[in-house]
């Protein structure tokens, strides 16, 4: 299917996690951000992103290779440096000038939290720093990426939702007998929405917890960009805390890739793979429901779906998207 470049006044200027840093090695790779094909590669000076399109005859640069820190097009071997400038046209007689117009479009690209991040516009702000995901002491673990056939906005809304834990994640993160939610306040600030101190009963405690039975975790959840959110869940009896960051790459309006990170301040002797496996199971349960939702695009008109007062966080999220002017993944 032909790709359609999506325009969005907010998401184009956001940083998006697009690839696992550990997987970007010597070979360039191609990703899709808002319908735009982007080539990523690693040089001795770091990571780089450029439009996945050779200005010569439109071949995909991500199918090429890296040689002496420059990206080589697989078709006629033109070479691009990290500023996007073409520095070698092999078919051209030696000593002739390379046309200045022979230049690829480059994008801001950074490595943080074990992910490669790209902004295809002008970055409106730096990638936020969260100590719990940056400090190795907390064993930050990348999970996924998970491909989802749904709008990224639906994924973030699901992440903010508590009332599904007892059903979608029954016996893992909640139990139907404990479905009633406490009264809670959503706090809206200029660049984030959050809630805190939400107790939720969980029938089986976390891997590595000293609780053999279920326990009540106290949650904080925050959406800090239209497609990025994080949470913490703490056991108040012992201070054991698990953090999760979730950030969504909008590939198309109804297609996304979810990057997740978990970290913790306990159970360092438990195999990290257990924590990743748990997120794989939980996210699969979420995706199975999210992919069935209609309308596919998140309705920002609050009359379109039945919004209940228990959906306060989701209502605040929809209002914020509207205020910001996010158009991709919304209707
Ligand atoms: S298409 Fe890339 S070098 Fe010709
Ligand atoms: Fe969920």
What is the residue-level pLDDT of the chain in tens, covering all 331 positions? Answer: 678 999 999 999 999 999 999 999 999 999 999 999 999 999 999 999 999 999 999 999 999 999 999 999 999 999 999 999 999 999 999 999 999 999 999 999 999 999 999 999 999 999 999 999 999 999 999 999 999 999 999 999 999 999 999 999 998 899 999 999 999 999 999 999 999 999 999 988 777 777 767 899 999 999 999 999 999 999 999 999 999 999 999 999 999 999 999 999 999 999 999 999 999 999 999 999 999 999 999 999 999 999 999 999 999 999 999 999 999 999 9
| Tokens (6 digits) for 65 | 């290779």
State how far the Cα of 186 lies from the Cα of 312, in Å rounded to an integer: 7
43 Cα to the center of ligand 1, angstroms: 21
Tell which atom from ligand 1 comes closest to the C-alpha of 57.
1
Question: What pLDDT, on the 0 to 100 scale, is given for residue 299?
Answer: 97
- Could you tell me if the CB of 102 is within 6 A of ligand 1? no
State how far the Cα of 194 lies from the Cα of 58, in Å rounded to an integer: 45
271 Cβ contact partners less than 8 Å away, ≥ 6 residues apart: none
* Pocket-testing residue among 72, 76, 84, 102, ligand 1, by greatest number of atoms within 8 A of Cβ: 76
Residue identifier of the C-alpha nearest atom 4 of ligand 1: 76
State how far the Cα of 243 lies from the Cα of 230, in Å rounded to an integer: 7
123, exposed or middle or buried, with CB in 10 Å at 0-12, 13-18, 19+? middle
State how far the Cα of 267 lies from the Cα of 14, in Å rounded to an integer: 34
Ligand index nearest the alpha carbon of residue 284: 2
Q: For the full predicted model, state whether its pTM sits above 0.85.
A: yes
Among 181, 158, 170, 167, residue whose Cα is nearest residue 256? 158
- Could you tell me if the CB of 115 is within 6 A of ligand 1? no
- Could you tell me if the CB of 188 is within 6 A of ligand 1? no
268, exposed or middle or buried, with CB in 10 Å at 0-12, 13-18, 19+? exposed
Beta bridge partners of 241: 234
60 Cα to the center of ligand 2, angstroms: 37
**H-type helices in 4-49, by residue range?**
none
118 Cα to the center of ligand 1, angstroms: 24
- Could you tell me if the CB of 201 is within 6 A of ligand 1? no
| Strands (DSSP E) found in 149-286 | 187-189, 192-202, 215-225, 228-235, 240-252, 255-264
Tell which atom from ligand 1 comes closest to the C-alpha of 73.
2
| Residue 218: CB atoms within 10 Å | 15
All structural domains of the chain: 11-119 (2.102.10.10), 131-324 (3.90.380.10)
Among 259, 331, 321, 275, residue whose Cα is nearest residue 23? 259
| Tokens (6 digits) for 236 | 């108040």
Question: What pLDDT, on the 0 to 100 scale, is given for residue 1?
Answer: 62
- Could you tell me if the CB of 57 is within 6 A of ligand 1? yes
- Could you tell me if the CB of 277 is within 6 A of ligand 1? no
State how far the Cα of 215 lies from the Cα of 206, in Å rounded to an integer: 9
Among 63, 30, 35, 27, residue whose Cα is nearest residue 49? 30
55 Cα to the center of ligand 1, angstroms: 7
159 Cα to the center of ligand 2, angstroms: 6
Residue identifier of the C-alpha nearest atom 1 of ligand 1: 57
| Tokens (6 digits) for 221 | 């959840």
DSSP 151-171: -HHHHHHHHH--TTTTTTTBT
């Amino acid at each position: 299917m032909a790709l359609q470049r999506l325009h969005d006044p907010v998401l184009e200027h956001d940083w998006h996690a697009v690839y696992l840093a550990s997987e970007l090695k010597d070979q360039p790779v191609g990703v899709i951000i808002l319908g735009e094909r982007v080539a990523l590669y690693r040089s001795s000076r770091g990571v780089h992103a450029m439009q996945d399109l050779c200005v010569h005859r439109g071949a995909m640069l991500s199918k090429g290779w890296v040689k002496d820190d420059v990206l080589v097009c697989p078709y006629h071997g033109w070479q691009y440096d990290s500023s996007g400038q073409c520095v070698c046209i092999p078919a051209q007689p030696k000593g002739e000038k390379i046309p200045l117009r022979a230049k690829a479009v480059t994008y801001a690209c950074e490595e943080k939290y074990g992910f490669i991040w790209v902004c295809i516009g002008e970055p409106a702000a730096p990638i936020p720093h969260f100590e719990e995901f940056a400090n190795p002491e907390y064993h930050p673990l990348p999970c996924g990426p998970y491909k989802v056939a749904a709008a990224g906005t639906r994924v973030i809304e699901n992440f903010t939702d508590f009332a599904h834990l007892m059903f979608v994640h029954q016996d893992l993160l909640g139990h139907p007998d404990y479905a009633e939610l406490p009264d809670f306040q959503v706090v809206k600030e200029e660049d984030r929405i959050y809630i805190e101190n939400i107790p939720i009963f969980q029938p089986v405690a976390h891997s590595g917890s000293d609780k053999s039975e279920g326990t009540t975790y106290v949650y904080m959840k925050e959406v800090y960009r239209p497609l990025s959110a994080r949470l913490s869940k703490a056991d108040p009896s012992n201070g054991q805390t698990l953090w999760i960051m979730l950030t969504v790459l909008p590939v198309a309006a109804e297609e996304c890739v979810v990057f997740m990170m978990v970290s913790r301040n306990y159970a360092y002797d438990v195999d990290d793979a257990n924590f990743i496996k748990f997120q794989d199971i939980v996210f699969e349960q979420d995706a199975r429901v999210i992919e069935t939702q209609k309308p596919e695009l998140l309705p920002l008109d609050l009359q379109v779906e039945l919004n209940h007062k228990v959906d306060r966080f989701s209502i605040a999220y929809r209002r914020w998207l509207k205020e910001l002017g996010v158009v991709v993944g919304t209707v």
